[in-house]
Chains A and B, each alone.
Chain A
Amino acid sequence: MVPELGHFALILALIFSLLIAVFPLYGTYTNNVMLMRSAHSLSIGLIVFVSVSFIALVYSFVQDDFTVEYVANTSNKILPLHYKLTATWGGHEGSLLLWIFCLCIWLFAVSLFARSLPLVIRTRVLSVMALATAGIILFTLLSSNPFLRLLPGPPPDGRDLNPLLQDIGFIIHPPLLYIGYSGLVVPFAFAITALLSGHLDSAWARWSRPWTNVGWAFLTLGMGMGSWWAYYELGWGFWWGWDPTENNVLIPWLTATALVHSLAVTEKRGLFKTWTILLAITTYCLVLFGTFITRSGIVNSVHAFANDPERGAYLLAYIVIIAAGSFLLYALRAPTVASLSRFKPSSRETFMLLNNVLLTVVMATVLLGTLYPMLADYMNWGKVSVGAPYFNFFWVLFTIPLTLLMAISALTQWKQTSPGIFKKYLTPSLLISLIVGGIFPFFYGEKYHLGGALTVAVTVWIFAVSFSALLKQTRNAPSFFAGVKQQPLSFYSMLVAHLGVGLLVLSAGLTSIYSDERNIILLPGQEKPLFGYSWGFDGVREFVKDNYSAQEGTIYVVRDGERVATLNPQKRFYMSGAMVTTEAAIEGNLWRDLYVSLGEAAEPKSAGGWIITVYVKPFIGVLWISMLLIAGGGFMALWDKRYRSRVAGSVKTSSTNTVQGAIG
């Protein structure tokens, strides 16, 4: 009964989303205020029915209702309760429902919090979002319905949630990622609205900006969380593998990052208008395209879902409609808007332009590397995979200028920056970063590594220039601290995000360069020196817990005669499906992680020895902090005064809009 209720609620949600997509939008063209206002009440209906549907699925999991095919496939009677709850998004169908749920939360949030926007604009944004949501709901109902019954003869136990997913990371990562993913529909909807209305002015950018920042920040968190999870759960010791599914999140993240910056230019200077619109549309299309690639099974990925081609066809049709529709609208409407202002090469506009160009190029190289195997297969060039060296090469090549320029941009001013400013504030930073970077490898690592010097120099540069920017901003204040207090929050949110990027460079660079990894055989009672530590083994014990039995090794790590860590890596055997997982053991601080995972028992088995992989990974702890800072910058921007006091400002801007709209 409950699954049918959920199914029925989802159908009602589809109807509600279609109603929002059609009638309020019609109202904006016939100037019917009542129809326009109906968008809000309809969005309440939508969020209610989607919630009912989602809760119905969660309830089916908690009740072990294995007559529901999806529950039978992704859960098991002996699964602990917190994993039963999250198994809701443990497969294709349920994760789509989570995506729909997140989309509707964003839609409702816009309806609730964007009340200061002119009614016509808000209504159109809601209609576009509802249309995008309706497409996903329809796709779910037609091809991936999670509520389908498995009758007659339901299995008594269920197949189980993939043991790799039975982990705290799986409880947090998908919701964050989907909130971020679906958040990118908001700037898309604003862009389409701008094209429909012809209001491509700075007011439009100011409305769209906070939503874009928050969606982008959630996507950053989701990506960072996924990286952290892969790092400790898969037991391979890496935090980014250039896997197609990872790339499919990174690609829209890169264009969204470009969008966050180009929106700033559009708001402040009225420039890059059509480019901003194009970025917003492209970002959402890339989100959909990434989903298509993972869900249709055309790439080989650790995330591949059990697939069928029919789903791929539906999704492709949806993407083609959305992409073709929005790009056609763009082609028809965008050329009417021309940017009038000009700027000097030393201006902030130039730096934002370079930022956008570099981000787009990086995005294109990642996209090409991701799609190349498919292209080669299609063209009969053979079955290929593109290795990590390709991605690493371009990533390093383009992120160095990107991050160097990023730091300088904090010093620049709109229109133009006087050369004296660059000279005064950049010279000390340049000296400091070259000196610190240059001497760092003398004190760290066995050999002088140029990459280490470069990494540290870039990081110090970002920090030093950011601090110079603060000095520059406060130079006219009575004292430094008085000046610090005067700066707007948006300035600090930018600095926080940029310093996060600095830490990301530091940790990603140093971890890649200085990490050590080796497979060794350890016998019980034996101690082996490796990577400056001594690794001792106390053997393996067996035990049973919840829904698995485990072999747990005890490895102690000694440095200078002192025990620094006791690690307990495991092999788990899940009872439901005879599936085995490796649980790495990590002892970490900010400066280094000691990471071990169990391989298998070494021959001869009678000796009790094990093959163990040992990793020493420096500075990886900094990586997680850097992701939090980058996302934190996005969230901080939301509290800036000009968004909070926008109610007063909006009256004025909306009247200027009408004038400009009439001209456009």
Chain B
Amino acid sequence: MAMHPVRKQRLVFVCFIIVFSTIAVGLLAYSLRENIDLFYPPSKIVAGEAPIDKQIRAGGCVIPGTIVRYENSLKKSFRVTDGAAQLQVSTEAILPDLFGEGESVVLTGKLNGDGEFVATKVFAKHDENYMPPEVADSMKGQVDHAKTCEGLDYGS
């Protein structure tokens, strides 16, 4: 029996939608898995929970007195903490304007075999009252007010 033309058109349309959306969902799942960067606080990285040589994000408060700028080089290094552990960071990226001692940062980069985090991007807060939520969260329980790095005891 010949199909009613309207029904046929509708069937073709529904098939098209199903095929198209299946491909789209498959691609989405694959692409998301490949392109997400997990955040690890320093204590987890030091404890060896973070993968080596894979792009991840890290962050914390920059420990005063640890910032080193190398001569005639783009390289800079510093240490960050979440109040529990310290992570050595080096980078050749431009440091943002609000980067400084005792300020919070979020880093994108890779952990090398020596336990040093090599950052390709360094983000600082863009407002005096703002702290990246990841950093704030990882500090809960370590400091009374997780709004800024001010309340942090750097163990000095």
A contact residues, total (Cβ < 8 Å) = 44
Contact with B along A381-420 (1 / 0, CB 8 A): 0111111011001100100000000000000000000000
Tell me if B's interface is mostly helix, strand, loop or mixed: mixed
Q: Is the pair B37, A387 in contact by a Cβ cutoff of 8 Å?
A: yes
Residues of B within 8 A of A162 (CB): 126-127
Q: Which residue of the partner chain, among B27, B39, B127, contacts A306 with CB atoms under 8 Å?
A: B127
Number of A-B pairs, beta carbon distance below 8 Å: 101
Could you tell me which residues of chain A, from 567 to 626, have a CB within 8 Å of some CB in chain B? 571, 577, 579-582, 597, 599-600, 602-604, 609, 611, 613
Task: Tell me if B144 is interfacial: C-beta within 8 Å of chain A.
Answer: no
| Stretch of A221-229, A318-326, A364-372, A530-538 lying at the B interface | A364-372
B126 and A390 within 8 A (CB): no
Q: Is A628 an interface residue (CB 8 A)?
A: no
Check: A164 CB closer than 8 A to any chain B CB.
yes
Q: Which of A304, A382, A390 contacts B38 (CB 8 A)?
A: A382
Judge whether A357 is part of the interface by a CB distance below 8 angstroms: yes
Interface assignment of B5: CB less than 8 Å from any CB of chain A? yes
**Given B20, B71, B137, which contacts A383 in the complex, CB threshold below 8 Å?**
B137
| A361 contacts B20, C-beta separation under 8 Å | yes
How many chain B residues touch A (CB < 8 A): the figure is 41
- Looking at the assembled complex, report how far the CB atom of A269 sits from the nearest CB atom of chain B, in whole angstroms: 14
Q: A306-B127, A519-B74, A519-B94 are in contact. Are A384 and B38 (CB under 8 A)?
A: yes
- Chain B residues positioned under 8 Å from A580 (CB to CB): 97-98
Residues of B within 8 A of A376 (CB): 36
Question: Do B126 and A164 touch (CB < 8 A)?
Answer: yes
Interface bits A293-319 vs B (CB < 8 Å: 1, else 0): 000010010101010000000000000
B57 at the interface (CB under 8 A from A): yes
Report B26-62 residues with CB < 8 Å from chain A CB.
27-28, 31-32, 34-39, 55, 57
- Residue B69 at the A interface, CB < 8 A? yes
From A306, A577, A604, B130 is in contact (CB under 8 Å) with: A306
How distant is the Cα of A389 from the Cα of B34 in the complex, in angstroms?
9
Q: Decide: A385 and B69 in contact? CB cutoff 8 A.
A: no
Contact present for A599 and B95 (CB under 8 Å): yes
Contact residues, B54-99 vs A (CB, 8 A): 55, 57, 69-74, 92-95, 97-98
| Interface residues in chain A, defined as those with a beta carbon under 8 Å from any beta carbon in chain B | 162, 164, 297, 300, 302, 304, 306, 342, 357, 361, 364-365, 368-369, 372, 376, 382-387, 389-390, 393-394, 397, 519, 521, 571, 577, 579-582, 597, 599-600, 602-604, 609, 611, 613
Q: Which 9 A-B residue pairings sit nearest by Cβ, starting from the closest? A: A383-B39, A390-B35, A580-B97, A599-B94, A384-B36, A387-B35, A603-B71, A603-B69, A389-B35
Q: Can you identify 21 A-B contacts, CB atoms within 8 angstroms?
A: A162-B127, A300-B132, A300-B134, A361-B24, A365-B24, A365-B28, A382-B39, A384-B36, A390-B32, A390-B36, A393-B35, A394-B28, A519-B92, A521-B74, A579-B97, A597-B94, A603-B70, A603-B71, A604-B71, A604-B72, A609-B72
